[in-house]
Amino acid sequence: MSKKRLWITRRLSDATLERAERDYDTVVNHEDEPGSAADLIAASAEFDAIIPCHSEHLSADVVAQFSDRLKIVANHSVGVDHCDLPALKKRGIVVTNTPDVLSDATAELAMLLMLGAARHAVAGDRIVRSGAWDSWSPAFMVGKQVTGARLGIVGMGRVGKAFAAKARGFDMEIHYFNRSELPPDQAQGATYHDNIESLLGVADFLSLHCPATPETTNLMNADRFALLPKGAVVVNTARGALVDEAALLDAIKTGDVSAAGLDCFQTEPGGNPAFANHENIFMLPHIGSATRQTRDAMGFRALDNLDAYFAGKTPKDVL
């Protein structure tokens, strides 16, 4: 039987591409530029399957123009806010994602951002690197201690739980808001809040781990920033859409939020230039899952889903 045709929209890990090329008639976008609407529509007529990243936007308009040839979109991401799921469902196209395998890498990055924001990583690095470090004082770059502080987690899914596990190693007191309370073996002593406002009131550190949906857009707005304890630190490794960036900037300027650690922005790539003057905003360019091990695991998980589909089975991560 001839191999199924697969389009891979970005330069995935070498191991992933090797396996894809072995098992599928694979075309890889080696230029590694995001696939445009026109690219996606054209690909739907030439390929049975696509592995996109969150950089490809499968909007309702794009999906409506897809050819009937395309059978499955096996995302190389856990987040699927770049896909119009109802539109894909209507076209009978199977959609999968890559949960679990990136939870630890993303939680590690959340820890880096939390610690870096709390302890002046940006200003500290700049002052040493630039040769401007010419004095020292006990009052110099005094930060906020994580040990023993209260951590508020919004969204206690896979990444939220992985972050909580790492934060327990820092003796943090874990609080969370989630659609439903976790069973005790999963909560591991974390305190459940059945509404976000209650969580914000105790969050000396706040970390966002929920998906971007119409309901969570601008979840952290001015009113909600105002509920945080004075000087809270805010971390976002989930999606930029969760944070009203103008409101965050206001809270940073007043000191109501003492620092932020951000891996996600409303505009990507690019970020928010208005944040650049504030060294208490520690920023990274959406690299939460960017470790070698995790990139391989994400690619393999997407391929596992494809293999299952083409073997006539239900893929593990079908949405």
Residue choice 289, 297, 300, 306 for contact with ligand 8YV (CB under 6 A): 289
Size of the site for ligand 8YV (CB under 6 A): 9
Closest listed residue to residue 8, CA positions, set 45, 48, 51, 38 = 51
Which of residues 88, 101, 102, 113 is near ligand 8YV by CB under 6 A? Answer: 102
Is residue 239 annotated as part of the catalytic site, yes or no? yes
**Closer CB to ligand 8YV, residue 152 or residue 157?**
157
Query: Listing from the earlier edge strand, what are the strands of the sheet with 173-177?
Result: 191-193, 173-177, 150-154, 205-208, 232-236, 257-262, 281-283
Q: What is the DSSP letter of 190?
A: P
The answer to whether 265 and 241 have CB atoms below 8 angstroms apart is no
Letters for 12-51 (x = contact with ligand 8YV by CB under 6 A, - = none) are ----------------------------------------
Does position 77 interact with ligand 8YV (CB under 6 A)? The reply is: yes
The nearer residue to ligand 8YV, 71 or 76, going by C-beta atoms, is: 76
Structure token pair of residue 164? 């909580």
State the catalytic residue, choosing from 239, 245, 295, 301: 239
Rounded to whole angstroms, the Cα distance separating 313 from 319 reads: 14
Q: Which range, of 21-29, 72-80, 185-193, 214-222, touches ligand 8YV by CB under 6 A?
A: 72-80
Q: Which is nearer to ligand 8YV, 103 or 258 (CB)?
A: 103
Q: Which of 18, 33, 197, 268 is catalytic?
A: 268
d(CA 231, CA 145): 12
Task: Write down how long the chain is.
Answer: 319
Distance (Å, rounded) from C-alpha 299 to C-alpha 226? 41
Nearer to ligand 8YV, 96 or 280 (CB): 96
Q: Which stretch binds ligand 8YV (CB under 6 A): 76-84, 154-162, 177-185, 219-227?
A: 76-84
- Nearest Cα residue to 173 out of 137, 204, 138, 214: 204
Is there a catalytic annotation at residue 168? Answer: no
Q: Which of 209, 286, 295, 301 is catalytic?
A: 286
Q: Of the candidates 19, 54, 150, 161, which one interacts with ligand 8YV according to CB under 6 A?
A: 54
Verify binding: residue 209, ligand 8YV, rule CB under 6 A.
no
Q: Work out whether 155 is an interface residue with ligand 8YV (CB under 6 A).
A: no
- Annotated active-site residue 268? The verdict is yes
CB-CB neighbours of 100 under 10 Å: 15
Shortest distance in whole angstroms from residue 133 CB to ligand 8YV? 34
Task: Please pick, from the candidates 157, 288, 299, 315, the single residue that binds ligand 8YV as defined by CB under 6 A.
Answer: 288
With vertex at residue 155, the alpha carbon angle to CA 207 and CA 147, rounded to the nearest 5 degrees, is 35
Q: Which residues pair with 152 in a beta bridge?
A: 175, 206
According to CB under 6 A, which one of 4, 19, 71, 76 is a site residue for ligand 8YV? 76
Measured CA to CA, the distance from residue 81 to residue 77 in angstroms comes to 10
Q: Answer positive or negative: Cα dihedral of 279, 233, 169, 177.
A: negative
Torsion of CA 215, 196, 105, 77, to 10 degrees: -10
Residues catalogued as catalytic? 239, 268, 286
Q: Which residues bind ligand 8YV (CB under 6 A)?
A: 53-54, 76-79, 102, 288-289
